[in-house]
Amino acid sequence: MSGGMQGGGAEPILTTKGDTLTFSTEEIRNPIGVDGEVLMADSTVPLGVAWSVPAAGGSPIWEIMVYG
């Protein structure tokens, strides 16, 4: 593993709140998207992920369920 989050004086890869660490052929900073976007798999871009607005009509991947 090179650079980034290691010690030893290397420049940090993650520089902004919300950044994610991605990998193609090396560790790369993926900056945060804008409000309302979600990180989605996208095989058409070099990193394999992209920030996108979710399609309408879908349901969230999480729900709070209360039983009782």
The pLDDT score that the predictor gives to residue 54 is 83
Q: What is the pLDDT of residues 54-67, one digit of tens each?
A: 877 666 666 666 77
The pLDDT score that the predictor gives to residue 57 is 64
Domain count, the chain: 1
Residue reference for tokens 């004086």: 9
Query: Could you tell me if residue 18 is inside a domain?
Result: yes
Query: Could you tell me if residue 24 is inside a domain?
Result: yes
What torsion do the CA atoms of 3, 34, 17, 49 make, to the nearest 10 degrees?
Answer: -30
The pLDDT score that the predictor gives to residue 43 is 92
Average pLDDT, the chain: 79
Q: What is the pLDDT of residues 13-26, one digit of tens each?
A: 889 898 989 988 88
Domain containing 22: what range?
1-54
Residue reference for tokens 């039983």: 67
User: How far is it, in rounded angstroms, from Cα 38 to Cα 40?
Assistant: 6
